[in-house]
A = this chain, B = another copy of it.
Amino acid sequence: MPKADLLNQFIKTLKGFDKVVKNVKFLKGDKGNCVATVKIQEDNLNPMGGLHGGFSATLVDSISSFGLMTHEPWATPSVSVNINLTYLKGAKVGEEITIISNVLRAGKTMAYLDVELRNAADQLLVKAEHTKFKMGA
């Protein structure tokens, strides 16, 4: 079974705060990298009616972490050390967002991910760096 399909099955089983990303659909996922999409819903908005920065941050954190699980030595749990989010452009309800996560480096103890949120016109909405630490390392 393609790893993107496995991630799509996995994401459906999630409880806790990851329920807020349950509508995300993985298109690709391998060697720690992944591409996923989600349609912005009313539940994802800020008080001004735009994409909420906390929801964007959750997409960055969760999707890059799940994608990282397709990187063989990083299938084991890891925790976030640092997430840096730069917000370049807003988005509205109904827009389709693409989340692109790439492993910059995954060593024995630390993994470094670059994550982008883009709209349907391929405009960059959020640029993020995510540093993770392997538990038990």
Residues of A within 8 A of B (CB): 14-21, 42-50, 52-55, 57-62, 77, 79-90, 104-105, 109-110, 112, 114, 124, 127, 129, 131, 133, 137
Contact = CB atoms under 8 A, between A and B. Distances in A.
Given A57-B58, A109-B109, A17 B87 contact: no
Nearest to A62: B54
Given A57-B54, A88-B112, A89-B105, A82 B16 contact: no
Contacts of A88: 104-105, 112
Contact of A54 (B45, B61, B77, B104): B61
Nearest to A78: B48
A81 B81 contact: yes
